[in-house]
Copies of this chain bind each other. A is one copy, B any other.
């Protein structure tokens, strides 16, 4: 955070030094991975492995305990079994570490005994003014300084303006995929776990003020803080930044499941939460596909305030389906200008008339090798009747074209302030194409329905904000 006043979470995201308590020596184990991510990604700070049985891990000096570290420790990541955690927290107090992340489970989520231990730890930390994330949390992540606390090997950490708040390790098994498969570009990620100390209000407040965060994706199982304060904060935040909210535990059985794994207790019925989220201007999603799909479109594309859409597909049949989906998702089908229709005639067979939705398949069959999408996009970029476009990308056109030339018309249209979504059905064949487009911030989905639903979220957020 650069604007003078430091938020207390800054120490978590920008620690000058991190101690990994429980760092392991055996490659392949989770606690080895915790350390090796920091090393491999070149975390921009000091790293102190703590392990009573090691003198050196991954070329770093290892310490038998926290107290043996000569230098200051900003962040202690505690990754030992729950039963040993209290001792380590006592060491944190003695060492005067600035903040801690508690990784292990086995606390409030398992019942009375766990809750008692958690309370004892919290009391001790509070007494000494040490803030804590967790327990039952793998966090934080910050792409600015390559801080990554994760059990899974992270190969790269692409920098961007999308920040996540998770309540549970939901993202953990798919973290690599988020970064290298979905091509999301992350600023910060915070996993709250049992929210013993730091909760969703703190995290949202921090990200709402963070100049590095443009889009917030928030996963919640419960509201641990003051619900009214949370909703007010959310309302203020959504005026500046889109906030995508996945509030799970919607059903009584789901809420019970949430309680048994992070100790979360749902205080309100889902209908109440739903109404409050809507009023606060949040973009609510029901499951993970939309959560990540929407996060991507808000991260990638400029605002969309009007809804006249142009459609191109590889077959007329898919054009009909896409048209239905656009209408049902709040778009109107753009009436192409006479200039655009003239330009499109060059790629159409003489017996056919260029209309929106465009059947690019017909152009392709008629004029072998033509990239109908490129001609279409070039025309649309200038068409005053068109606000955005949804295109089924034809893989065969890509395989024949220079990648730069292929992607350029998509980028040109977006530069003209007109968001474009596209889809490639087969990720095995289209992988390179997807990466090429997404490298240039053109979002690619696996189907028209997902692309159009995401674009609709973009439109509705920005149209709503204007009211």
Contact A261 B317 (CB under 8 A): yes
On whether the beta carbons of B448 and A172 are closer than 8 Å, the reply is no
Q: A439 contacts the other chain (Cβ, under 8 Å)?
A: no
Is B324 in contact with A254, judged by CB distance below 8 angstroms?
A: yes
Residues on B with C-beta less than 8 A from A316 are 109, 168-169, 257-258, 260-262
Contact A425 B320 (CB under 8 A): no
- Does chain B have a CB within 8 A of A221? yes
- Check: A419 CB closer than 8 A to any chain B CB: no
A253 to B248, CA, bound (A): 36
Q: Does residue A321 face the partner (Cβ distance < 8 Å to B)? A: yes
> Looking at the complex, which one of B173, B317, B355, B362 makes contact with A166 (CB distance below 8 Å)?
B317
Contact segment of A5-13, A204-212, A383-391, A427-435: A427-435
A134 at the interface (CB under 8 A from B): no
Contact in complex: A427, B428 (CB < 8 Å) = yes
Question: How would residues 161 to 202 of chain A score, 1 for a CB under 8 Å from any chain B CB and 0 otherwise?
Answer: 000001111101110110001000000000000000000000
Contact of A320 among B249, B323, B325, B392 (CB under 8 A): B249
Which parts of A10-44 form the interface with B (CB within 8 Å)? 29-30
What is the distance, in angstroms, from A244's C-beta to the closest C-beta of chain B? Answer: 14
Q: Summarize A's interface: helix, strand, loop or mixed.
A: helix
A49 lies within 8 A of chain B by Cβ = no
Name A83's closest neighbour in chain B (CB-CB): B351
A315 smallest CB distance to B (angstroms): 5
Instruction: Flag if B394 contacts A173 (CB, 8 Å).
Output: yes
Task: List, in ascending order, chain B residues with CB within 8 A of A333's CB.
Answer: 253
Closest B residue by C-beta to A426: B177
Q: What 1/0 flags go to A440-459 for Cβ under 8 Å of B? A: 00000011111000000000
A359 to B105 Cα, complex, angstroms: 12
Is B324 within 8 A of A251, CB to CB?
A: yes
A414 to chain B minimum Cβ distance, whole angstroms, is 25
The 8 Å CB contact of A261, one of B173, B314, B359, is B359
Residues in B whose Cβ lies below 8 Å from that of A368: 29-30
Interfacial chain B residues near A281, Cβ < 8 Å: none
* A320 lies within 8 A of B105 (CB): no
What does the 1/0 interface line of A345-358 toward B look like (CB < 8 Å)?
00001011101010
23 A-B pairs with C-beta separation under 8 A: A30-B368, A106-B351, A110-B352, A114-B351, A168-B320, A169-B315, A169-B316, A169-B361, A173-B314, A221-B317, A248-B317, A248-B320, A251-B327, A251-B328, A254-B323, A257-B320, A257-B357, A261-B316, A287-B449, A288-B448, A288-B449, A428-B431, A446-B446
